[in-house]
Amino acid sequence: MTSLLPHPSVLSSLSGSYELTSGATVSGPTDLVDAVRLALPGLDLRPGDTGAIDVRHDTTLGAEAYKLTVGSRGIEITAGGRAGAFYAAQTLHQLLPDASYRFSAEASWTVPGVRVEDSPAFSWRGIHLDVARHFQPKREVFRMIDLMAVHKLNRLHLHLVDDQGWRIESRAFPRLHEVGSHRARTATNYFREPDTFDEIPHGGYYTLDDLSELAAYARSRSVTIVPEIDVPGHATAILAAYPEFGATGETFEVLPKWGISPAILSPLPPTVDFLTTIFDELLGALGETPFVHIGGDEVVLDHWSESAEIVAYQESLGLDNSAELQAWFLRKLADVLAERGVRAVVWDEAFVSGELRQDTVVMPWRGMGVGRRAAAAGHDVIATPVFPLYFDYAEAASTEEPMAIGDSITVHDVAAFAPTPSSWSAEETARVLGLQAQLWSERIPDARVLDYRAWPRACALAEVAWAGNASEGFGDRLREHLGRLDAIGVEYRPLDGPKPWQRRRPHRPGIVPVVTAMEHLDKMTESAHSTRPSI
């Protein structure tokens, strides 16, 4: 099966069809019935003792696996768990016309007779959303969850803190959201140009109650929120609020421009205690959270090596240099999370700079070469390489595209991606949990640009993540699927280029070609000291 719609190679046609109407009944275990109804909101399905859709639980199936049968006498869903029932209903929805994705008080759809047996190729099918550089209000996070659910994507990685903003309430350390959540202005210049600013304040944060609501909403749609508190670098917004947790004690303001600041948290015990309190607040709000991302990327370690107190602490731990201290610091935080039943996730710099806890998950953004090394070392891996999974890159090397960090990554590049190349060993391949697209938001100022950057490239991501590859006929399936996105109201990038109002500030093609960037990044992963900014 594919994520976008049924595929002939795994879809058996049956004789007959079934008329599904609004107000139809659904019978079966309550939690599975609820999942089916959530996946078909426009049909206003109602629970009943007997009905049009019969849902059954089969413990021999995987939690996300399902069987769907449609015939003249009704619809039967057999699922291994709540997620499987939800995905079965998404597939059922794909058998209906595009108009079924619009709300209708009265609707009647003819469902063709089919039999589908399906399960995902990868357990991690993710979208990374950077809400630190440009804040996305809660309503947009809800919408992203909804769109992920339609595409059977199941991990929403929220990048909640960076130099340019802190995005969650802290009752223990309130200056984090009072001071760190907003900046006075935002950079408007392109990459490697003189600084210019818009002089417009920007900010926002999610309350702990917001996080609880978002997590519950996501779980109901088989999406897990993976929060990221990126440390010890990318810390300007934290230190603007609490400079005492820095390596120098100097004061900062929330960074108004892009790029990387040398601001870095101290690795001393008070900082670990501070972050432990933050983790406890975060986990208390989110509820059951299997993963927390702790960053570890693009860290400028100069302030550590220049601090007599930090160097003395490093030596007391028997460590030779700042890179080893960074590895120790991240392992300490991973230990804190493990005590709470949570696995740490890191970017690949944390892997190359030193020994991690064995259960730490690695995201190799600088290429699958370092991803393979992490897998060979026994770490689970999420494929996140810049090419082709950084959706802040432009879809074409053209001034008609809205401004992006570089160019170009197309929907076909994403569809052609193989998370586990054939050259990998069976052991290395088994370590790849899945893949994830990154939406860094330096140049994604609002929801309309977010739609444009994410879709339809995330449709290709969904295909690869669910089926293992985007098989023959993907282009035709995608063109048909765009009708569903139109009905939902997604302002995606048309396949033949942007509409006039989507162009905005023009892109500067050729400044950061993605092929050149990847060559540079891959080379940097060969050094254990490659923690500095990489582009």
Distance CA(321)–CA(305), nearest Å, equals: 8
Is there a contact between 65 and 43 (Cβ–Cβ < 8 Å)? no
Q: Residue type for 422, please?
A: S
Reply yes or no on whether 298 is catalytic.
yes
Distance CA(172)–CA(33), nearest Å, equals: 40
Q: 228 by DSSP, 3-state: which?
A: strand
DSSP per-residue codes, 278-340: HHHHHHHHH-S-SEEEEE--S---HHHHT-HHHHHHHHHTT--SHHHHHHHHHHHHHHHHHHT
> Pick the catalytic residue: 118, 281, 298, 407?
298
Task: For the beta carbon of residue 27, count every other beta carbon within 10 angstroms.
Answer: 17
Q: How far is CA 196 from the centre of its chain?
A: 30
Q: Could you tell me the two tokens for 363?
A: 């995201």
Is there a contact between 152 and 462 (Cβ–Cβ < 8 Å)? yes
Reply yes or no on whether 134 is catalytic.
no
Reply yes or no on whether 157 is catalytic.
no
Q: Which residue has the tokens 């730490």?
A: 360
Distance CA(382)–CA(374), nearest Å, equals: 10
> Pick the catalytic residue: 162, 281, 348, 491?
162
Distance CA(279)–CA(387), nearest Å, equals: 31
Please tell me whether the peptide bond between 47 and the residue prior to it is cis, using omega within 30 degrees of 0. Answer: no
Give first-to-last CA distance, the chain, whole Å.
38
> Pick the catalytic residue: 234, 379, 481, 507?
234
Q: Which of 73, 87, 96 is nearest to 116 (CA)?
A: 87
Q: Catalytic residue numbers?
A: 162, 234, 298
